[in-house]
């Protein structure tokens, strides 16, 4: 656990001492999705997903959750820093209510801690993610990996993702997230538009296919 807190402290250090962090902003959001599908795996049906974030320059820290109408819940904390040249680094704490929040043990631990790296170059995006710990409650294996490549063509974004550990049925590395997504704004009044997004997702490893549509408020 000491390693995890040192990483989080490092991100906070970047926020405090990096130049140009004059613009600070609090923001909140609420998304409603037809189902919650993450990295090619469906976790619940229709879901409400709230978020709260504080940002200052390239630094952001926040909380994000998903509450399914079928009872599934996920509540995450995250911190990240985005550099001007497209690189971002962060850490995410995955937590699932129903487990004891302060349980950090290997056998029944409630938290999965993941290092996140991202790079955006024009229409191309790359991400690499690595789970630091084994936690029985969060169902992380430890050293779980996930990689994704995305490319935007016009109004459509294509993505291909592969991982192991908690991303696949047998824990072995495999292709688990393949699809495309798009978004648009539906004009409601002259001063208000409703952002709508949609994705078509195939998980070859689990042989599952999903269509997901959501709105953002």
Q: What is the CATH number of the domain that holds 107?
A: 2.40.160
Domain-located, residue 201 = no
Residue 56 lies in a domain: yes
Q: What is the mean pLDDT of the chain?
A: 91
Residue 12 lies in a domain: yes
Q: Is residue 216 included in any domain, yes or no?
A: no
Structure tokens at 98: 């129903």
| Assigned domain for 194 exists | no
Q: What is the number of alpha carbons within 13 Å of residue 9 lying toward its C-beta?
A: 6
Query: Tens digits of per-residue pLDDT, 46-102?
Result: 999 999 999 999 999 999 999 999 999 999 999 999 999 999 999 999 999 999 999
**Main-chain dihedrals φ then ψ at residue 96, nearest 5 degrees:** -120, 110
Phi, psi angle pair for 104, to nearest 5°? -110, 20
pLDDT over 90 for what percent of the chain?
A: 85
**195 pLDDT exceeds 80?**
yes
Cα–Cα distance for residue pair 162/91, rounded to 1 Å: 19
Does 181 score more than 90 pLDDT? yes
Say which residue the tokens 């002259």 belong to: 190
Query: In this model, does residue 128 exceed pLDDT 90?
Result: yes
184 domain residue, yes or no: no
Does 205 map to a domain? no
Separation between Cα atoms, residue 15 and residue 61, nearest integer Å: 10
- Domain with 89, as residue range(s), is 2-175
**Does residue 82 fall inside a structural domain?**
yes
What's the rounded mean pLDDT across residues 177-196? 91
- Number of separate domains in the chain: 1
């Amino acid at each position: 656990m000491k390693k995890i807190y040192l990483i989080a402290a490092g991100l906070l250090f970047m926020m405090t001492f990096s130049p140009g962090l004059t613009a600070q902003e609090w923001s909140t959001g609420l998304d409603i999705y037809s189902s919650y599908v993450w990295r090619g795996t469906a976790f619940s049906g229709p879901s409400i997903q709230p978020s709260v974030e504080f940002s200052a320059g390239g630094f952001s820290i926040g909380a994000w959750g998903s509450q399914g109408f079928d009872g599934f819940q996920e509540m995450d904390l995250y911190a990240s820093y985005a550099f001007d040249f497209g690189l971002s680094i962060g850490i995410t704490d995955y937590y699932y209510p129903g487990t004891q929040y302060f349980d950090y043990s290997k056998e029944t631990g409630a938290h999965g801690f993941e290092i996140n790296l991202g790079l955006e170059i024009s229409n191309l995006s790359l991400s690499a993610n690595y789970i630091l710990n084994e936690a029985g409650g969060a169902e992380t294996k430890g050293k779980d990996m996930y990689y994704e490549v995305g490319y935007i063509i016009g109004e459509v974004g294509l993505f291909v993702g592969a991982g192991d550990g908690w991303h696949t049925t047998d824990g072995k590395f495999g292709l688990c997230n393949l699809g495309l997504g798009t978004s648009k704004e539906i004009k409601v009044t002259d001063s208000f538009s409703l952002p709508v997004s949609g994705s078509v997702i195939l998980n070859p490893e689990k042989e599952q296919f999903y269509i997901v549509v959501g709105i953002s408020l």
